[in-house]
Amino acid sequence: MKLNTTFDEKQCIIAIEGSIDALTAGELEKAVTDAAPQCEKMILDMSGVDYISSGGLRVVVGANHTVGKGNLTLRGLSPNVLEIFRLTGFTKVLNIE
C-alpha cells in the first residue's frame, strides 16, 4: 500500500493505493492519527484501493471518530470497495463521494 498525504488550508487528503488489509491497516491508521491534528476536514482518496478488509473498515470508522463525525469524506471508491461499505451499512454513517 502507498500513502500520500497533502494539506490544503484546514483540509487534508490522504491518497491510498493498493489493498487495506491486516498487514497495511496500521500504516493507514498512523497516517490518519498523524494528520488529524492539522486538519478540520479529512478526505480519504480511495480511488487507488482495490480491496479493503475488516481491519481496513475498522481504521476508516476510527478515522471518522478521530476527525469528528461529518468531517471525514471517502472519495473515489471502486464498485467492489463501495459494495463492501454498502453490505456493512457504513454508507449510512460515512460521507462518500
Residue 31 has pLDDT above 90, yes or no: yes
CA distances from 38 to 24, 49, 67, 79, 83 (A): 23, 24, 10, 31, 31
Q: How confident is the model at residue 10 (pLDDT cuts 50, 70, 90)?
A: confident
Residue 27 has pLDDT above 90, yes or no: yes
Residue ranges per structural domain of the chain:
2-96
3-state secondary structure the chain: CEEEEEEECCEEEEEEEEEECCCCHHHHHHHHHHHHHHCCEEEEEEEEEEEECHHHHHHHHHHHHHHCCCCEEEECCCHHHHHHHHHHCHHHCCEEC
| Domain covering 2-96: architecture | 2-Layer Sandwich (3.30)
Tell me what pLDDT residue 69 has: 77
